């Protein structure tokens, strides 16, 4: 039962933490198409301009790199100025990016648009996840999972309309229409976002190790445990990003993309149905696994889910030539992959505190950008040894990450938190400036 109350009568009902969570989820859903609907545009763009799929997919890599590697700076802006201006700026960039794509006649414009879109998506994503971690220090896994679910499942609602609009009116019209729609909608919602008013209060008892001190990003990156977490994030994110960017080309190479399938009373191409189901599973897993990790521990959940993703990748490799098996194993890949966007922000806040959670989670989120560098490598591997080589390499790395989470990260993080929670441990990690705060910060709110 939540017992945190707010005494300020002038705050509006949407300033309550559950309303703030809902607003963040909707913002995430609206910006999700920039990543998850991208694969629908690759073929039509190549057919129109003959740039080559590898050159077009480079725009996706640029987008991911910009989206992720600028999040620490955007998180710093949120911690300093609040979520509203950062999400508002992100809305403008997200809308502008797709409008630019609708007019792009050169790869240079396409790549410039990818940079702008990455800035917009990163601003919205990093802000909403960080805000959730601050509002819900008692339920970090669930809150981060629900917020990230908006990004994972949001595109499921619009992928069919986008695919239909591309078919009827061309990809340029789809880029323009949905760019304006998404940008304006996020901008309006940004006006309702508020930062939690912080007060100092003892942390509630937990059966899992959590830090009683708050560390800045600069202090965090000096710790070995952060880099173990970071490498795990990169390893698991790589397989999922490969599937996100390449599921369309894989389906076409295997002759499956245009097979008619029944879905919700409609007959649609297999690729369209697969993308819709994948996005639903990608969203579902984030709050589910976040909730599970709150109950059984972060590393235990990582152990089970990461190994599951590796097995799903191998299953798609072995049985994916069958249309139904392709849809099933593709959905499982997204199911086992999407949870990293709830567990890793939660484990970061558990380890390094809530006060700088937005900037810290943003710093860790750059691992997704590092993993994006492997997306073009997947195309190279596919050319050298077929998609099977890509699946085998991805599966081995993912399964290794699951095993290391259980037997390397878990004991290492427990020892580090135990040491950091000692007074002398806090000062040692903080360094000479001694900035690490021993007090835990809990948000005040209304509307509970």
DSSP letters for 151-172: HHHHHHHHHHHHHHHHHHH-HH
Class (C level, CATH) for 13-444:
mainly alpha
Secondary structure class of 21 (helix, strand, coil): helix
- The residue whose two tokens read 């998609």 is 387
Cβ neighbours of residue 225 closer than 8 Å, sequence gap 6 or more: 351, 409, 412, 413, 416
**First-to-last CA distance in the chain?**
10
Provide the CB-side half-sphere exposure for 212 (13 A, CA).
17
* Strand extents, DSSP E, 298-402: none
Nearest to 380 by CA among 367, 393, 370: 393
CA distance 403 to 82: 38
Which pLDDT value is given to residue 203? 40
Say if CB 144 and CB 129 are below 8 A apart.
Answer: yes
Say if CB 436 and CB 10 are below 8 A apart.
Answer: no
User: Tens of pLDDT along the chain (448 residues)?
Assistant: 344 434 444 456 667 788 899 999 999 999 988 888 888 899 899 999 999 888 998 998 899 888 888 888 888 888 888 899 999 999 999 999 999 999 999 999 999 999 999 999 999 988 998 888 888 877 888 888 888 888 767 777 788 899 899 999 999 999 999 999 999 999 999 999 988 765 434 445 456 778 888 899 999 999 999 999 999 999 898 877 776 667 878 888 888 888 888 777 778 888 888 887 887 887 788 889 988 998 899 999 999 999 999 999 999 989 988 999 999 999 998 889 888 888 999 999 889 987 888 889 889 988 887 887 777 777 777 778 778 888 888 889 899 999 999 999 999 999 988 887 776 555 445 454 445 544 444 344 433 3
Which pLDDT value is given to residue 11? 59
Question: What ranges do the domains of the chain cover?
Answer: 13-444
Q: With left for phi above 0 and alpha for psi between -120 and 50, is residue 200 left, alpha or beta?
A: beta
**pTM tops 0.95, yes or no:** no
**Cβ neighbours around 260 below 10 Å, total:** 12
Give, to the nearest 10 degrees, the angle between helix 38-49 and helix 171-190: 140
Say if CB 132 and CB 146 are below 8 A apart.
Answer: yes
């Amino acid at each position: 039962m939540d017992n945190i109350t707010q005494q300020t009568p002038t705050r509006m009902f949407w300033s309550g933490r559950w309303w703030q969570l809902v607003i963040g989820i909707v913002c995430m859903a609206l910006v999700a198409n920039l990543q998850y609907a991208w694969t629908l545009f690759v073929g039509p763009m190549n057919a129109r301009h003959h740039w080559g799929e590898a050159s077009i997919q480079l725009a996706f890599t640029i987008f991911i790199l910009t989206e992720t590697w600028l999040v620490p700076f955007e998180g710093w802006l949120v911690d300093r100025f609040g979520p509203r201006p950062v999400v508002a700026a992100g809305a403008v960039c997200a809308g502008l990016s797709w409008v630019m794509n609708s007019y792009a006649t050169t790869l240079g414009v396409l790549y410039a648009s990818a940079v702008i879109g990455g800035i917009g998506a990163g601003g919205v994503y990093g802000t909403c996840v960080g805000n959730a971690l601050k509002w819900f220090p008692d339920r970090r896994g669930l809150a981060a999972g629900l917020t990230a679910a908006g990004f994972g499942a949001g595109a499921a609602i619009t992928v069919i309309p986008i695919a239909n609009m591309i078919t009827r009116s061309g990809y340029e019209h789809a880029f323009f229409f949905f760019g304006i729609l998404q940008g304006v909608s996020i901008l309006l919602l940004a006006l309702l976002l508020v930062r939690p008013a912080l007060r100092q209060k003892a942390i509630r008892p937990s059966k899992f190790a959590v830090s009683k001190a708050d560390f800045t990003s600069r202090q965090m990156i000096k710790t070995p445990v952060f880099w173990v977490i970071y490498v795990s994030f990169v390893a698991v994110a790589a397989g999922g990003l490969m599937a996100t960017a390449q599921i369309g080309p894989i389906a076409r190479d295997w002759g499956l993309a245009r097979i008619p399938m029944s879905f919700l009373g409609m007959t649609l191409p297999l690729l369209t149905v697969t993308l819709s189901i994948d996005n639903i599973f990608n969203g579902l897993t984030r709050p589910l696994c976040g909730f599970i990790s709150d109950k059984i521990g972060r590393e235990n959940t990582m152990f089970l889910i990461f190994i599951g993703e590796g097995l799903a990748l191998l299953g798609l490799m072995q049985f994916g030539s069958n249309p139904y098996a392709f849809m099933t194993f593709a959905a499982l890949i997204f199911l086992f992959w999407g949870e990293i966007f709830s567990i890793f922000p939660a484990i970061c806040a558990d380890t390094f505190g809530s006060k700088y959670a937005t900037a810290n989670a943003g710093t860790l989120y750059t691992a997704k950008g590092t993993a994006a560098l492997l997306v073009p490598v997947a195309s190279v591997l596919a050319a050298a040894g077929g998609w099977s080589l890509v699946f085998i390499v991805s599966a081995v790395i993912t399964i290794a990450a699951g095993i290391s989470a259980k037997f390397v990260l878990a004991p290492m993080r427990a020892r580090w938190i135990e040491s950091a929670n000692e007074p002398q441990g806090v000062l040692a990690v903080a360094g000479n400036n001694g900035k690490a705060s021993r007090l835990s910060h809990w948000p005040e709110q209304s509307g509970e």
